[in-house]
Structure 1
């Protein structure tokens, strides 16, 4: 899963050296061999084939794309050609990545961040040499195509971070990482032509801008926007309103805090410190900010849940994998890995394997447990383990959710262990999950395919100009007016009162 940062290389892969140079053509035989290899590996290993897109439809799509490989094709065109097949899985944990070094130090990126207000796109951060393109400049076209058209194409091309037909994840990631997505899909370009309108002006202008390298992009954005791009550290607590005793707990990831920490003790220690601070400062309204949290280690998500869940709980009801996945987890030369697999998994009725540990129940914490009002900040980039936390909380009938629908499904996802395959000729890589993880939740408690917000927050032009966290501002208004969707520590979900829901429209700017 791609995690947010200053500028991420969404298509940077970890494959071996590629024998096909940029711009070099691939023969029809090589292209068909690579595509056939890709399909074989997906059928063999991916636990979600046929789940979101029926298998017959997947087969027809494959045949159509395979039969279209009748002439020599350039590398990037081939990458684009096979993308619809990977995208048809509709699995946010499956990523189609370029070969190693296709995206690198010589790649040039679009020189700005783009943020939407309703259906209009604006420049929010500019790293080009043209400093007149200040925040609030309306961006109309890039190289002759409307930004809306480009955005839609990139959303369809890469479904990373978004499961099923849910579009919030694809929309969020393709905008946050627009420069990366653009370079990955259309290739690197030394310059681009844009049309735009300056803030407060109706005149449509046109200019050509040089595209910076990754290092130049990072250097410039730190110099121009250093304060803005510095985000609170993971698991940090800050008091935001003393009158209402409100604090924000920033949970940016469930990945480990240290590289060598198999039991995640560092994460657990920092989590304990955070909730000790919350108790000592008499926090009564806790805002858990999981915007942009792409997930991580399930154990860490369970540890967070222990601070507010009302009774012992499971995270997953089932964990399953195909039989062929065993070979990816067991090394023949290592008898310990064989023993470990046997201890963790058992054969199931489908011919694959199921985890033995899903029945493990986590006990709520007594010390420093939080019993006040919980508010969750969420967006499309709240994915995987972040969705697990919100799904379990919703299932327990706790919390008020603010923002937009998160990226994963309420029922669960395809994740756990991963395998990266490298196509033999083009060296294109596909990273796919090996396990199907089903949340231990009641289907009747769902409020949508994914976890939907109780109160939808959307950006205004004023939010854009002030670089304001509009979702946080919305949550603070709810708290000041005493509005909750679900009362604390209830064991059955309760929808927001009609009076509260009627205020939803008036609270939005």
Structure 2
């Protein structure tokens, strides 16, 4: 299923090695934890395929390994689950793509699109490579081969195609150092204006990358915004569904925004959910109640892996009141179901629900709660979609609450989702995300010019519809 031996053969660290016995103990605990707790372990990959992968990795533990080597051996197991919410990381460093290396990192900021990589910016001066140049290879590895290799290590929902580009746009330098190579120099071949050249650049420290990336963000911009393009068109931007109430009150923003849309008789509403990686489940359902044109059920079911406690709990952090919640789990048709979610019930549209035309902008980072909302909106034909496939799967995701299991020897940690959310939809493709009717992506020229081609396309679409 995956090239386990090829993965294991990647370069070795000089750190302390763990014995075969220690590694097999960690392997057994990780596999047992996934089997007992993961609510969607076999949602997209069969039990037979997962068991084969579990056995392949167990058999590959035939010599001492460092923490990093064991991590690289096991990451394809996590990726094979096809769940973007399932985490595996160094202890205390969740979502840290630079956990194993913080120096001698790849010095260019790349932009990935359509199987190519382009130079977006520089983390070191004097590279001699112009912005917009297409990178052909790094240290002798061609870009398509690098993308193919990294695909084995970057978990995404189902078989969603858009997330990989977005992850590499954000964290390529960390992924490259962990899973491919890291060193003092990088040999790069690149093409610009039909001329191909070669450059050798020095690696950089993570502090330089962090500082550069932080200055690229727009300062003092609220995560929830409502703007008016003209008298009949409004643009609502929602950057996430977990806004700090001290910054903005989400429910006040939604209520007041839709009241204002009605007062102004707005006919066209653009909802920009690009790069919104999710948050609180109910917030997505609440927004949909302002878009619905009839009664609706948001979730069809929320499934769990079991109704009793876990054998691995001495190694795990579990949600508060976990034991008390076990008695609330229902058993129906052989499934363990969680009933305590308000949006399992049938809901009615809000009094100020928007009745005009909706245009929803999404991309590969529209994930979790955001992709849940997008699935319901598309299933009920309440919007035209522009952009790229959502990062979350159409039929739902595995998330909610987690068991956090720390392996006793390597101290690597797994975040295992305990709930599988199923949307009340008829998914056109079980293993894909919400795919827009209008596929539009910013090109490298758009990015360098600071131009939002997706928004421009949307506003032109509205104008043409008049």
Q: TM-score range by the shorter chain?
A: 0.7 to 0.9
Mapping for residues 158-177 of structure 1, pairs under 5 Å: 158-159=154-155, 162-177=156-171
Mapping for residues 196-345 of structure 1, pairs under 5 Å: 196-197=190-191, 199-200=192-193, 202-214=195-207, 216-221=208-213, 225=216, 229-230=218-219, 232-239=221-228, 241-242=229-230, 245-258=232-245, 266-323=249-306, 342=327, 344-345=328-329
Deviation at 1:220, TM superposition (A): 3.4
Cα distance, 1:482–1:325 mapped onto 2, change above 3 Å: farther
Deviation at 1:34, TM superposition (A): 0.9
Deviation at 1:22, TM superposition (A): 6.4
CA–CA distance in 1 between the matches of 2:230 and 2:157?
39
2:439 to 456, 459, 462: 456
Deviation at 1:478, TM superposition (A): 1.3
List per-residue Cα deviations over 1:458-487 (Å, max 9, x = no partner): 33343233132222122122112118xxxx
TM-score norm. by structure 2 comes to: 0.85
List per-residue Cα deviations over 1:20-50 (Å, max 9, x = no partner): x962212111111111111000011012222
Cα distance, 1:98–1:128 mapped onto 2, change above 3 Å: same
Deviation at 1:380, TM superposition (A): 1.5
CA–CA distance in 1 between the matches of 2:134 and 2:78?
33
Q: Is the 8 A contact 1:136 1:464 kept in 2?
A: no
Q: Is the 8 A contact 1:25 1:73 kept in 2?
A: yes
C-alpha root-mean-square deviation of aligned residues, in Å?
Answer: 3.1
| Greater share of strand | 2
Deviation at 1:104, TM superposition (A): 5.5
Deviation at 1:94, TM superposition (A): 0.9
**1:18 equivalent in structure 2:** none
CA–CA distance in 1 between the matches of 2:325 and 2:66?
45
**1:148 equivalent in structure 2:** 144
SS class of match (2:417): strand
Q: Is the 8 A contact 1:110 1:192 kept in 2?
A: yes
The gaps in structure 1 that reach 5 residues or longer are 1-20, 484-509
SS class of match (1:352): strand
Q: Is the 8 A contact 1:315 1:439 kept in 2?
A: yes
Mapping for residues 38-437 of structure 1, pairs under 5 Å: 38-100=30-92, 103=98, 107-108=102-103, 109-130=105-126, 132-159=128-155, 162-186=156-180, 189-197=183-191, 199-200=192-193, 202-214=195-207, 216-221=208-213, 225=216, 229-230=218-219, 232-239=221-228, 241-242=229-230, 245-258=232-245, 266-323=249-306, 342=327, 344-350=328-334, 352-357=336-341, 359-367=344-352, 369-437=353-421
The gaps in structure 2 that reach 5 residues or longer are 1-12
Deviation at 1:299, TM superposition (A): 0.7
SS class of match (2:373): helix
SS class of match (2:338): strand
Cα distance, 1:118–1:395 mapped onto 2, change above 3 Å: closer
Structure 1: which 4+ aligned runs deviate by more than 6 Å? 334-337, 445-448
Deviation at 1:176, TM superposition (A): 2.7
CA–CA distance in 1 between the matches of 2:445 and 2:89?
37
Q: Is the 8 A contact 2:44 2:431 kept in 1?
A: no
Q: Is the 8 A contact 2:308 2:326 kept in 1?
A: no
Q: Is the 8 A contact 2:187 2:198 kept in 1?
A: no
Q: Is the 8 A contact 1:237 1:278 kept in 2?
A: no
CA–CA distance in 2 between the matches of 1:336 and 1:26?
35
Cα distance, 1:62–1:121 mapped onto 2, change above 3 Å: same
List per-residue Cα deviations over 1:110-131 (Å, max 9, x = no partner): 3332113434321112221226
Deviation at 1:190, TM superposition (A): 4.7
1:472 to 449, 452, 455: 455
SS class of match (2:73): helix
Cα distance, 1:218–1:465 mapped onto 2, change above 3 Å: same
Cα distance, 1:232–1:373 mapped onto 2, change above 3 Å: farther
SS class of match (1:53): coil
Deviation at 1:251, TM superposition (A): 1.4
CA–CA distance in 1 between the matches of 2:112 and 2:181?
24
TM-score norm. by structure 1 comes to: 0.79
CA–CA distance in 1 between the matches of 2:64 and 2:210?
37
**2:5 equivalent in structure 1:** none
CA–CA distance in 1 between the matches of 2:344 and 2:227?
36
**1:16 equivalent in structure 2:** none
List per-residue Cα deviations over 1:112-160 (Å, max 9, x = no partner): 321134343211122212264442122222222223322222122111x
